[in-house]
Structure 1
Amino acid sequence: SQRRDRRSTSGIAATVGPPCLPWREPRQEEEGRQRPRAFPIDQVRGNFIRSVTNCIFSEAFPTPLKGPLRLAAVSKDALEGLLDLDVAVIVSDEFRQYVSGGKLFPGSEPLAHRYGGHQFGYWAGQLGDGRAHLLGHYTNRKGETWELQLKGSGKTPYSRSGDGRAVVRSSVREFLCSEAMYFLGIPTSRAASLVVSDEPVWRDQFYNGNVKTERGAVVLRLAKSWFRIGSLEILSQNGELDLLRKLLNFVIAEHFPSIHSNKSDKYLAFYTSVVNDTACLMAEWMSVGFAHGVCNTDNFSLLSVTIDYGPFGFMEAYDPDFVPNTSDDEGRYSIGAQAHAGLFNMEKLLDALRPLLSAAQQEVAEMVLKTFLDIYQTSSRMLLKDGTCLRFIQLMEDTRADFTMTFRQLSEASAHQLRRRNFTQAWALQDLASHGRFSDWLNVYLLRLGRQATHSRKDPHSDRQARMKSVNPRYVLRNWMAESAIRKAERNDFSEVALLHDILRQPFLTQASAEQAGYADKPPWWAHQLKVSCSS
């Protein structure tokens, strides 16, 4: 499949300026740089819960974690590649304080973002950053601007009945999956660090009355922007149209350079771009068997990148009804229904934009909306290449073959193995081969490979294997792998978190440490008993 690096420049104007990282000397052109406020800030101060109007951000300060802080994990790639930091800084207590909310970067004015959203199909009203704090933006040596946000860093005006914390299990999953998706080539937010404390946090993990204490944790997340569909919905729903227009103008100017800011149809062009990019993103999710789990409008980025990792799951046995989130009783966000959830979200985005569109523009936007599923299907077919693969997927569904390893083992199979039907060392393909029509499919596939061989100067089979292995991962973050790392982390053993993070940086490369850990084996029996909920 073809992965896309869609955008490389962006920023935020809701803070005074870029945080000056104290362990790195600022470049000369950064010194004294100030960025003016773009939006009005909530006039009420304090982290107490309230209804907020006529602003996009509220001032909100992180609440430091209690007890000793442990740096459970860091992404060397994010620190060095995005924040221009030498990874050696992680040994300092100062670093732990900065990335957990104990200290603020000089110049940082922490904010919580006000947004709303449709949750499981219903308008939920004001939501917002209930446990996240935007620290500021940083422009790195490559000219990329990244917004730094802490998750799990305490209460904000948008915490509702929550305590503003995140726990170890959900934070480990967020850290690992953010980075894993990036290395799979899928547009995503990033995670730079994970800090764990001894602070007790009360959670009813499965909403069954079994409340228990867990430990608090904070993830430092990065994204080009944290604006989401709900950012626009709350303004439109409340009739704050001047602010809606101002936010849209900012988002377009900062993140959609191909759209002319003085054109009368810029909002329509923006909508068209989001519809197209979101459909393509969701096709990429499906190409690796990723189910987000909570496809609410407040979890969908306006930049069409994956954000807000909660009860996600990578599908194992192929099943369009796979639901990773046990809180999703009706299966609204099953993997097979994700595209329709995306369509619903694009409808709600259009509803938010309607007050700013002329009648003629609304008609065109309705036509654009109708292209969403077609774009998704076209992008999916491009990723899957052709009808031969579509028939292959039907066999997978019938046999409930493993999604990741069936594709991968087909990638690794030699021409000799395919002709001899020798799959004794390929457990997923062996499951698939039990289908009565597998031989028919394989004969068609071999004929196709034979035709390619007559037109190729290279060894067609080794070339096929190399190309297929470069896009079909051998390792993804299966829930059982994350759970194994979490159980150890809850005992202050972060070795498997580090191991998984290292392995998932090269998901297409066979690695001895991963094979020894069984990450390419059949999932263990207990994996089928795992449950993941919205609780975090």
Structure 2
Amino acid sequence: MWSPDRALVFALVTASHLTPGHVLGQDQLFCQRTDPDCHSHDSRLFTNSVKPQWNKNMTDLTHSLGQFRVSCNKLIESFPIDEIDGNFVRSVRNCIFSKSIPTPLKGPLRLAAVSKDAIEKILNLDVAVTQSEDFLLYASGTKVLPGSVPIAHRYGGHQFGYWAGQLGDGRAHLLGQYLNRKGETWELQLKGSGKTPYSRSGDGRAVIRSSVREFLCSEAMYFLGVPTSRAVSLIVSEEPVLRDPFYNGKLKTERGAVVLRLAKSWFRIGSLEILAESGEIDLLRKLLNFIIKEHFSFIGPDDPEKYLVFYSRVVNETAHLIAQWISVGFAHGVCNTDNFSLLSITIDYGPFGFMESYDPNFVPNTSDDEGRYRIGNQAEVGLFNLEKLLVALSPVLTQQQQKQAKIALKGFVDIYQMRIHQLFKAKLGLLGEEEDDNYLIAFLLKMMEDTGSDFTMTFRQLSEVSANQLRSRDFSDIWAIADLSSHKLFSDWINTYLMRISRQQSDLDRQNRMKSVNPRYVLRNWMAESAIRKAEMNDFSEVEQLLRVLSSPFVTQVAAEEAGYAARPPRWADSLKVSCSS
């Protein structure tokens, strides 16, 4: 039987085109309250920590929120809506959405972070608007955007391998869709904005701890070139929220926070599962037709094979997404079917983690006792989730189409392995295709596993050293490769690698290509934790710094080096734990 743990270590098949990651340096906007240039509000309910540094010549940006409009019409008019109003928890049937009004955060409110890139390039807003009191109200759920009819999405899901029944947006409100100047439609959603009919036993809130992580990682993944939802803003409050972070009965009072996030669509595998499980087949077909029309426009609406083509595309893109996760050492942490996007983007950041020492058994989620979602098992879990998607689609597929869909599903393994091979060849700067490339990749990863070498920095430092440095074996100031060099077979690998890269273009070209795909900075847990501890004390300076650094992860930055973001992780990082509690 195929094992993704093995596939993570041994890339087995040929490579194809590699899509380069984003390498964009963007100024981010923050300031401390002591800064005389900071804009302040007379109202005692609001404070603001953002300093204007935008380009005043950008005349194509909207300068007033009064001109900003979203619309829920397409979503509400396309499907039946829950007949019952109110945010009280209940079993919901025969609909896709329930109308649900956000519950305002208790003030004072503070804008802790904003993504200039998302604000200006997606929403066409001048970042200056985030200094307004209206923005704080809109982005915290206190005030409803013009055109918005807030709704919560009904879905189900398999959680840790078992059907969990109705789940849904238990602390998120979809505000509406925005059509930007590029012709792109984006859905605006608040996370942490209060109870909905799908809150189960939850309070509908998110806390600073989890919100900082989601805000930073959404943007970090985008700039790494990994398909993802985006984060626009992070607003924190003084509202007390009780949490049991590690499910040990020790409650902790934290503070509430809301993230305004964006995606082309928030539909996920669980969106279809709940309809199939409930026998709502006409609604299942209607939702599928909508998703295909809006997001898979290359599929003809009258194509009798449209559901099969849709499924095949999701299989393909999911394999590519998980391979990209692996290539940057990212473990999602909770790969349930309700957290797997039908558009194959990364959504619902919770107890994720970027692997430090290379270990296929790395588990970022301390709640995952069995290691189901360890990094080396993500592809197998993806396969499981796609199997459940096929079950959900079966009522609308003919028997012949179901057989063809199973063939498409079997192709997942080959697609995943091909993409893994392709990505890791690029990480090693290998051009063309040679017979021993699989061996060269597998050899390196096995040495990294044996020595516990740092995943991110081993590849990055291999990008930065010249062939002459590799030949000299002088790694005194290159800590990750120095760790790797302790392996008894290191010299054998280096000799093989040097011989391989000697048959291609200049060594400088190799280094430049490798540096464009091997980040120097990722959102390590200790970095996020350091920013969270300060944020909980109303110091958002490290959130600011991390956002700036992670917006250019492939470029060496003085401030990042001084902060130790590319150094050996501190010893205290070993004791960090992240759970599903947020």
After TM superposition, the score normalised by the length of structure 2 is: 0.86
Equivalent residue for 1:296?
A: 336
Contact 2:70–2:177, Cα closer than 8 Å, also in 1: no
Counterpart pick for 1:155 among 181, 184, 195 = 195
Contact 2:72 2:148 in 1 (8 A): no
What does the per-residue CA deviation read over 1:62-106, in whole Å, with 9 as the maximum and x for residues that have no partner?
000002001000000000000000011121111111101010111
The answer as to 2:542 corresponding to 1:502 is: no
1:322-361 residue pairs with structure 2 within 5 A?
322-361=362-401
Q: Does the 8 A contact of 1:22 with 1:105 survive in 2?
A: no
Q: Does 1:317 align with 2:352?
A: no
Cross-structure match for 1:488: 534
Alignment of 1:363-402 (within 5 A): 363-385=403-425, 386-387=437-438, 388-402=440-454
Structure 2 counterpart of 1:79, from 91, 96, 119: 119
Distance apart, 1:4 and its partner CA: 7.3
Distance in 2 (alpha carbons) for counterparts of 1:255 and 1:244:
16
Q: Does 1:531 align with 2:531?
A: no
201-210 or 379-388, which moves further after superposition? Answer: 379-388
Q: CA deviation at 1:31?
A: 11
1:121 and 1:22 map into 2 onto residues whose CA distance is 48
Amino acid at match of 1:23: S
Which whole-Å deviations, capped at 9, do the CAs of 1:146-170 have from their partners, x for residues lacking one?
0000000000000000000000000
Matched, 1:23 2:69: no
Shift of 1:350: 0.1
> Structure 2 counterpart of 1:510, which letter?
T
Alignment length, in residue pairs? 513
What is the CA distance between 1:451 and its match in structure 2? 1.7
Same amino acid, percent of matched pairs: 70
How far apart, CA to CA, are the structure 2 residues paired with 1:482 and 1:34? 38
Q: Is the 8 A contact 1:4 1:186 kept in 2?
A: no
User: Are the counterparts in 1 of residues 464 and 511 from structure 2 also a CA contact under 8 Å?
Assistant: yes
Deviates more, 1:442-451 or 1:398-407: 442-451
1:442 is aligned, of 494, 502, 505, to 494
**Equivalent residue letter for 1:47:** N
Matched, 1:408 2:460: yes
Q: 1:319 & 1:191 partners in 2: Cα distance?
A: 29
Provide the C-alpha distance between the structure 1 equivalents of 2:379 and 2:456, rounded to a whole number of angstroms: 20
- 1:464 aligns to what? 510
Shift of 1:417: 0.8
**Alpha-carbon distance in 2 for matches of 1:376, 1:438:** 28
Cα drift, residue 415 of structure 1? 1.9
Task: Give the drift of 1:26.
Answer: 4.9
Contact 1:4 1:187 (C-alpha < 8 Å) held by counterparts? no
How far off its partner does 1:374 sit? 1.6
Q: List per-residue Cα deviations over 1:474-529 (Å, max 9, x = no partner).
A: 00000000000000000000000000000000000000000000000000000000
Residue of structure 2 equivalent to 1:145 = 185
TM-superposition CA deviations, 1:435-482 (whole Å, max 9, x none): 011100100111112222xxx4xxx11111100000000000000000
Which SS does the other structure have where 1:99 is aligned? helix
In structure 2, C-alpha distance between the alignment counterparts of 1:206 and 1:448, rounded to whole Å? 48
CA distance in 2: counterparts of 1:426 and 1:187, whole angstroms: 31
Cα RMSD (Å): 1.6
- For residue 135 of structure 2, what is the aligned residue in structure 1? 95
2:207 is matched with 167
Pair 450,102 (structure 1): closer, same or farther in 2 beyond 3 Å: same
What is the CA–CA distance in structure 1 between the aligned matches of 2:542 and 2:293, rounded to whole Å? 42
Q: Secondary structure, in 3 states, of the residue corresponding to 1:371? A: helix
Residue 274 of structure 1 aligns to a residue in which SS? Answer: helix
* Secondary structure of 2:140's aligned partner: coil
Q: How has the CA–CA distance of structure 1 residues 475 and 226 changed in structure 2, closer, same or farther, with 3 Å as cutoff?
A: same
Change (3 A) 1:26 1:91: closer
Following the alignment from structure 2 to structure 1, what is the Cα–Cα distance between the partners of residues 567 and 246? 29
State the secondary structure of the residue aligned to 1:176.
helix
**Higher RCO by CA contacts (8 Å cutoff, separation 6 or greater):** 2
Match of 2:482 in 1: 430
* 1:2 lines up with 2:43 in the alignment: no
Q: Give the Cα–Cα distance (whole angstroms) in 1 for the partners of residues 121 and 63 of structure 2.
A: 17
Amino acid at match of 2:93: T
1:234 paired residue among 268, 271, 274? 274
**Mapped pair 1:51 → 2:91:** yes
Name the SS for the 1:77 alignment partner: helix
Q: Among 148, 162, 180, which residue is 2:220 paired with?
A: 180
Partner of 1:130: 170
Rounded Cα–Cα distance in structure 2 between residues aligned with 1:25 and 1:292 = 38
Answer yes or no: is the 8 Å Cα contact 2:63–2:126 preserved in 1.
Answer: no
TM superposition shift of 1:394 = 1.3
- Report if aligned partners of 1:343, 1:372 keep a CA contact under 8 Å in 2: yes
Does residue 418 in structure 1 map to residue 458 in structure 2?
A: no
Distance in 2 separating the partners of 1:422 and 1:520: 19
Residues 239 and 255 of structure 2 are in contact (CA less than 8 Å); yes or no, is this contact kept in structure 1?
Answer: yes
**CA offsets 1:132-154 (integer angstroms, 9 cap, x no match):** 00000001111111000000000
- Distance in 1 (CA, whole Å) between partners of 2:18 and 2:114 is 28
3-state DSSP of counterpart to 2:77: coil
State the secondary structure of the residue aligned to 1:37.
helix
Could you list the runs of 5+ residues in structure 1 that have no partner in the other structure? 6-20
Determine the C-alpha separation between the residues in 1 that align with 2:337 and 2:70. Answer: 38
Q: Cα gap change, 1:378/1:532 in structure 2, threshold over 3 Å: closer, same or farther?
A: same
Secondary structure at the counterpart of residue 267 of structure 2? coil
Q: Which runs of 5+ in 2 are unaligned?
A: 1-16, 22-61, 426-436
Query: Given the superposition, is the C-alpha separation of residues 33 and 297 from structure 1 closer, same or farther in structure 2, using an over 3 Å criterion?
Result: closer
Equivalents in 1 of 2:115, 2:63: separation in Å?
19
The Cα of 1:389 is off from its aligned counterpart by: 2.3
Mapped contact 2:361–2:375 kept (Cα < 8 A): yes
**Inter-CA distance 422–496: structure 2 relative to 1 (3 Å threshold):** same
- Residue 306 of structure 1: aligned partner: 346
* 1:391 Cα offset (Å): 1.6
Letter in 2 for 1:120: F
Q: 2:256 aligns with which of 206, 210, 216?
A: 216
Residue pairs, 1:101-120, within 5 angstroms: 101-120=141-160
Residue identity opposite 2:320 in structure 1: C
How far off its partner does 1:3 sit? 3.0
Look up the equivalent residue of 2:387 and give its one-letter code.
Answer: E
Does 1:196 find its partner at 2:236?
A: yes
- Contact 1:99–1:220 (8 Å) recurs in 2: yes
1:355/1:32 CA distance change after superposition, 3 Å: closer
**In structure 1, what is the Cα distance between the partners aligned to 2:542 and 2:133?**
23
More divergent stretch after superposition (154-163 vs 253-262): 253-262
**For residues 106 and 322 of structure 1, what CA distance do their matches in structure 2 show?**
45
The 1-side partners of 2:71 and 2:226 are apart by 36
Residue identity in the other structure for 1:342: G
| One-letter identity of the residue aligned with 2:190 | L
1:173 alignment partner, SS class: helix
Structure 1 distance, partners of 2:173, 2:71, is 24
Displacement, 1:23?
1.9
Q: What SS class does the counterpart of residue 201 from structure 1 fall into?
A: strand
